[in-house]
Structure 1
Amino acid sequence: MSARVGHGPWGVPIALFILGAWAGHLVWLLSNEGPSWSSPLAWLHILVQGYLCTGLFITGHDAMHGTVSRRRWLNNAVGTAACFLFAGLSYHRLVVNHRAHHADPTSESDPDFSTRTQSFWPWLGTFMVRYATVIQFSVMALKFNILWWLGVEQWRIWLFWVVPAVLGTFQLFYFGTYVPHRRPETPEMAPHHARTLPRNHWVAMLSCYFFSYHWEHHESPSTPWWALWRMKDARASVTDARPAA
């Protein structure tokens, strides 16, 4: 397929836009000018913030593949900031584990995969145990207390910071790990042991920033998230061009 897109001028601006949208929306939500917990709009803002949290990790993930910027220091700086802001995650540790995932997906050595169970909740539990650390929880606790010390009401911290982060975690795991890699495998998943979302681009964007086009991601890890739809279209055109058996 010829739809691969590597480094380009859009990587850094798109990454900074997501970081800025996440931070700006969160600051407003945590302020006294933000919606009250009883407002119906509060729940809409929680969903929006959860989606922006997902975007934070997607940005960090692109940095792990070096697709944010050609300048390594800038690429890694954006990735480190995005992963830290998302949930106090270690960017370096994520890079090591993600390389292992791409090296042999769905194998015993894949830190993202559960070979013992294909059930959602046990797999999620295994996933969290492998990635969560005492340092991460300590960082998150420190962030919480800093926000409280700055005068942010506790209910706002829980509702507009903690809950969206949890929603983002579920969204990433479901669309980026569980659905793409769960068994039984089908012929279309070869050779990457990954399936792709059979929906239109709008659904893919809203579900997980095109990350649900997971076969395409494994086929071309150097293609940034915002160009995976081109990979999907290119794959579809090749399939349609094949003569019927």
Structure 2
Amino acid sequence: MTVSLTPDYTTLTSPDTKLRLKDIIKTLPRECFQKDMRKAWTAVVVNVLMVGLGYWSIAASPWFLLPIAWIFTGTALTGFFVIGHDCGHRSFAQRKWVNDLVGHIFMAPLIYPFHCWRIGHNQHHNHTNKMDVDNAWQPWRTEVYDNLDPITKTAYTTTRGRLWWLASILHWALVHFKLSNYKTRDHGKVKLSIAVVVAFAAIVFPALFLTVGVWGFVKFWLMPWLVYHFWMSTFTLVHHTLPDIQFKEPEEWDAAQAQLFGTVHCDYPKWVEFLCHDINVHIPHHLSTAIPSYNLRLADSSLMKIWGSKLRRYQFSWGLMKEITDQCHLYHPEEAYQSFKSYANK
């Protein structure tokens, strides 16, 4: 059974209905997809002011308040990434060149090459939770894990456990600067984005060392950057990882099921949501990347009216992170995940 061109909510939620992604998208209000340049540029201005406030707080804080200043500034810098994220999905501005320009500007302070990330990230959206194809937090098969070299195995076990927050740094370093990871047709854009971040680092890093020294570099750039990567690792892990969220074999994979029910909505403290532009209202974003970040909550409200408790909605907590990092380690074809401990005891 398939749904009609004009979706009926009762039909959509029926167990007999073969859900299609396009039918789910049709249930969303048209306003969700409308770009509002006032809202987009207001978010840019506010974000720049918040980052500026963060750096002022780092400069003004006594040593014992520096961790608070670092956390605030790093979280605000994560908002820079989310602006670049909208640009990568072409949901920031109408013109492609504006999206590319703004994306490069806001990702440069993070030393994140815009096109390198954009190209890889689109693969994640096209193949969410598809085994051997999705490139975001995919669990490794046991036969692959068994044959890893000691260094790679240690890195994998470490970043799947309590040090999950290091994963984003490894991903950034190992994936985004390697030309062979991209198709030949994309090499020009990839080289441009790498050149932008190299130029930024070549100007800003020496300037920091010369003006505020090594400690100043650590204080003003490195520590906020590490906080940013903590949020990048955390957000992307929680977005699609729970003990019962199944990665599907390609022949069994279904786009609608993966995007609607394999994506997690997680509520963070309001100040985090504000600084990061509601990126964790994530289910509508996976249904359509055309929805700008400032319209995600409108789309989410619409989805809740139809699917309600069927959607995966959680509150960010240590308990949630403990559950994920204790259990979600290796691929299991029936049980979704198996932990390192349970696998070792077999």
TM-score normalized by structure 2?
A: 0.58
Task: Please list every run of 5 or more consecutive structure 2 residues that lacks an aligned counterpart in the other structure.
Answer: 1-26, 141-155, 179-193, 247-255, 311-346
Q: Which residue of 282, 295, 298 maps to 1:230?
A: 298
Q: CA deviation at 1:147?
A: 1.6
Determine the structure 1 residue equivalent to 2:167: 124
Match of 1:28 among 52, 56, 81: 56
Alignment map for 1:1-245 (pairs within 5 Å)? 1-3=27-29, 4-9=32-37, 10-22=39-51, 24-25=52-53, 28=56, 34-40=59-65, 42-85=66-109, 87-107=110-130, 108-116=132-140, 119-120=160-161, 121=163, 124=167, 127-133=171-177, 142=202, 143-149=204-210, 151-175=211-235, 177-186=236-245, 190-192=257-259, 193-197=262-266, 199=267, 202=270, 205=273, 208-240=276-308
Inter-partner Cα distance in structure 1 for 2:286 and 2:218:
35
Distance 1:146 1:99 in 2: 35
Task: Quote how far apart the aligned CAs of 1:6 are.
Answer: 3.1
Structure 1 contact 196–216 (Cα < 8 Å) conserved: no
Deviation, 1:240, is: 4.9
In the alignment, residue 91 of structure 2 is paired with which amino acid?
Answer: T
**Residues 204, 211 of structure 1: 8 Å contact kept:** no
**Could you say what secondary structure the match of 2:81 adopts?**
helix
Q: Quick one: structure 1 residues 203 and 48, their matched pair in 2 at CA, closer, same or farther if it must change by over 3 Å?
A: closer
Distance in 2 separating the partners of 1:62 and 1:185: 29
Taking a change above 3 Å as real, the CA distance of residues 102 and 130 of structure 1, as seen in their structure-2 partners, is farther
Other structure's SS at 2:36 match: coil
Q: Which amino acid aligns with 1:15?
A: V
The 2-side partners of 1:49 and 1:65 are apart by: 25
Distance 1:241 1:35 in 2: 46
1:226: Cα distance to partner?
2.3
Q: How far apart are the structure 1 equivalents of 2:75 and 2:64?
A: 19
Q: For each residue in 1:146-179, what CA deviation from the matched residue of structure 2 results, as whole angstroms up to 9, or x when unmatched?
A: 2222x1243232123211111111112212x111
Asked if the contact 1:204–1:212 (Cα under 8 Å) also holds between the matched residues in 2, the reply is no
Question: What is the rounded CA distance, in whole Å, between the counterparts of 1:7 and 1:219 in structure 2?
Answer: 17
Q: 3-state DSSP class of the match of 1:69? A: coil
Q: Which has the higher strand share?
A: 2
CA spacing shift, 1:203–1:89, aligned 2, 3 Å: closer
CA shift at 1:131, angstroms?
3.2
Note the C-alpha offset of 1:38: 2.0
AA aligned to 1:182 is: T
Q: Conserved in 2, the CA contact under 8 Å of 1:15 and 1:68?
A: no
Moved more, 69-78 or 6-15: 6-15
Q: Distance in 1 between matches of 2:35 and 2:268?
A: 25
Q: CA RMSD in A?
A: 3.2
Q: Per the alignment, do residues 185 and 161 of structure 1 end up closer, same or farther by CA in structure 2, a change over 3 Å counting?
A: same
Structure 1 pair 211/89, CA: closer, same or farther in 2 (3 Å)? same
CA distance in 2, matches of 1:200, 1:53: 16
Query: Kindly, what percent of the aligned residue pairs are identical?
Result: 19
Q: Which runs of 5+ in 1 are unaligned?
A: none
Contact 2:120/2:135 (<8 A) preserved: yes
Q: Contact (CA 8 Å) 2:78, 2:275: kept in 1 or not?
A: no
Retained in 1: the 8 A contact 2:113–2:176?
Answer: no
> Aligned partners of 1:128, 1:211: CA distance in 2, in Å?
19
Count residues in correspondence: 232
Using the size of structure 1 for normalisation, the TM-score is: 0.79
- Structure with higher Rg: it is 2
